[in-house]
Chains A and B, each alone.
Chain A
Amino acid sequence: MKTLAIVFRKEMREILRDRRTLIAIGLAALATPTVLVIVSQVSTQTATQTYTVGYNGEIPTGLDILLAATALTL
């Protein structure tokens, strides 16, 4: 257990002194929330968007229920 602690301390010290590793950690820390925000905004937009479709012919029974469930208007 003591050996593990000694090795862990040394590894951390080395990592914290490596500029490239620090830059990679910093970029990951910035990029991860940015990507999450973009993905959540796009999915919200997609979920609330209303679509209008055209239909020719007699409307079958139950189509109005289906359209209401999928946010489509006729």
Chain B
Amino acid sequence: MKSAAVKVDRLEKALGKNQVLRGISLEAGSGEIFGLLGPNGAGKTTTLRIVCTLLAPDAGSVEVLGFDTRTAPEEVRRRVGVVTADIGVYPRLSARENIAYFAELSGVLDGELERRVDTVLERLDMVPFANQRAESLSSGQRQKVAIARAIVHDPEVLMFDEPTSNLDVLASREIRNFMVESRDRGKCVIFSTHVLHDAERLCDRVTILHEGTVVATGPTAEVRGSHRDLEDAFLELVEK
């Protein structure tokens, strides 16, 4: 692993009476795709929410590029982009306006705003529908808007939480290609999914969560071990 961009140390979190995280630790590096795997309810989304400062941990700490999420949340937010399965773009704004809105909120300066938005639109091949309202776009196109708004401020850490769960094969492939491209550009890409086949193809390293604890972590091939695929290894780990 190259230098750690995201460090999670003994993280604990309860939501109501439910203890979601029970002291998990992990590190994700720049220039790698890091898989955060586990069944529904394992604590993947809660972990990502704490990393992007939406939730505060009960115990433990999270650092993003050296900034603690509790003491420097603004610095962390400036360095993180998040894409979730729940796309949540503003339906009555155009694709361009949605992206520009988030760029403004992320502190992109007025003079640079248009150039940044245009760059992202071209990079994600969105120019043909840039001025269409989001409500008239397909799911794949809306997911592209969600990605565009997550990367418009050029964050060093990109987090994808089940990004392909509502998408067709073509749109999913585009998202996967984008993750690989981001990794090659030196970004730290955290990919949370329960689709182990995707994780196996994409991730350099993985951490498997189960009921709020880490049950395996390491390079993907190492975690798979002698099993036929990651799914078999995963099943054995969670059934122990």
Q: CB-nearest residue of chain B relative to A7?
A: B105
Our pick among B92, B93, B97, B105 for the contact of A3 (Cβ within 8 Å) is: B105
Chain A count of residues within 8 A CB distance of the other chain: 8
Report the tally of A-B residue pairs with Cβ distances under 8 A: 18
Q: Is the CB of B101 within 8 A of A6?
A: yes
Least distance between A11 CB and chain B CB atoms (Å) = 10
Encode B134-167 as 1/0 by CB contact (under 8 A) with A. 0000000000000000000000000000000000
Q: Does A14 contact B (CB under 8 A)?
A: yes
Least distance between A6 CB and chain B CB atoms (Å) = 5
Task: A18 to B104: give the CA distance in the assembly, Å.
Answer: 23
Q: Is the CB of A13 within 8 A of B93?
A: yes
Q: Does B90 contact A (CB under 8 A)?
A: yes
Encode A1-43 as 1/0 by CB contact (under 8 A) with B. 0010011001001100110000000000000000000000000
Q: Which residues of B lie under 8 Å from residue A7 when comparing CB positions?
A: 105
Q: Is the CB of A6 within 8 A of B90?
A: no
Encode B89-118 as 1/0 by CB contact (under 8 A) with A. 010110001000100110000000000000
Least distance between B74 CB and chain A CB atoms (Å) = 12
**What 12 additional pairs, Cβ within 8 angstroms, besides A10-B97, A13-B92, A14-B90?**
A3-B105, A6-B104, A6-B105, A10-B90, A10-B93, A10-B101, A13-B93, A13-B97, A14-B92, A14-B93, A17-B92, A18-B92
Residue ranges of B at the interface with A (Cβ–Cβ < 8 Å): 90, 92-93, 97, 101, 104-105, 133
11 contacts between A and B (CB under 8 A): A6-B101, A6-B104, A10-B90, A10-B93, A10-B101, A13-B92, A13-B93, A13-B97, A14-B90, A14-B92, A14-B93
